[in-house]
Amino acid sequence: MSQTEIHAEGAFLVPGPLAPPTRLLMGPGPTMVEQRVYEAMATPIVSHVDAYFFEVAEDIRKMLQLAFATQNNFTMAISGTGSAGMEAAVANVTEPGMRFAVFANGYFSDRMTEMAQRQGAEVIRFEKPWGEVFSDEEADAFVRRERPHVVGYVQAETSTGAYQQGRAIAKAARDVDALVIADCVTSLAGMPVLVDETGIDVAYSGTQKALSCPPGLSPLTLNERALDRVRARKAPLATWYLDLRLLDSYYGDAKRYHHTAPIPLFYALREALRIVMEEGLDARWRRHWENHMAFVEAASALGMKMHVEPGHQLWTLHTPLLPEGVNDVALRKFLLENAGIEVLGGFGPLQGKVLRIGLMGASSTRTHIETLLTNLQQGLAAQGHSGSGDPIEAARAVWASPPPIPHV
- Spell out the domains of the chain, with CATH numbers in brackets: 35-277 (3.40.640.10), 281-400 (3.90.1150.10)
pLDDT at 336: 98
Place 203 in a pLDDT band, splitting at 50, 70 and 90: very high
Place 6 in a pLDDT band, splitting at 50, 70 and 90: low
CB contact burial 229-248 (16+ within 10 A = b; e otherwise): bbeebeeebebeebbbebbb
Ramachandran bin of 151, using left for φ above 0, alpha for ψ from -120 to 50, beta for the remaining angles:
beta
Give the sign of the dihedral formed by CA 252, CA 253, CA 258, CA 262: positive
Question: Strands 12-15 and 74-79, how do they pair?
Answer: unpaired
pLDDT at 7: 56
Note the pTM of the prediction, 2 decimals: 0.95
* Cβ contact 189:361 at 8 Å: yes
Please report, for residues 36, 78, 122, 236, 239, the alpha-carbon distance to residue 204 in angstroms, rounded to integers and kept in the order given.
24, 9, 22, 22, 17
Place 35 in a pLDDT band, splitting at 50, 70 and 90: very high
* Cβ contact 177:194 at 8 Å: no
Whether the per-residue pLDDT at 12 is higher than 80: the answer is no
Give the separation between CA 355 and CA 134, rounded to whole angstroms.
23
Give the sign of the dihedral formed by CA 279, CA 191, CA 340, CA 392: negative
Phi and psi at residue 280, to the nearest 5° = 95, 135
CB atoms closer than 10 angstroms to residue 135: 11
Residues 48-80: tens digit of each pLDDT: 999 999 999 999 999 999 999 999 999 999 999
Q: Which helix (H) or strand (E) holds 111?
A: helix 107-118
Give helix 51-68 / helix 263-279 axis angle, nearest 10°: 40
DSSP code of residue 325: T
Whether the per-residue pLDDT at 149 is higher than 80: the answer is yes
Residues 246-280: tens digit of each pLDDT: 999 999 999 999 999 999 999 999 999 999 999 99
Give the separation between CA 183 and CA 249, rounded to whole angstroms.
25
Whether the per-residue pLDDT at 104 is higher than 70: the answer is yes
Give the separation between CA 311 and CA 406, rounded to whole angstroms.
9
CB atoms closer than 10 angstroms to residue 70: 22
More reliable by pLDDT, 234 or 197: 197
CA atoms within 13 A on the CB side of 38: 5
The mean pLDDT of 310-334, rounded to a whole number, is: 98
Ramachandran bin of 316, using left for φ above 0, alpha for ψ from -120 to 50, beta for the remaining angles:
alpha
Whether the per-residue pLDDT at 209 is higher than 50: the answer is yes
pLDDT at 10: 62
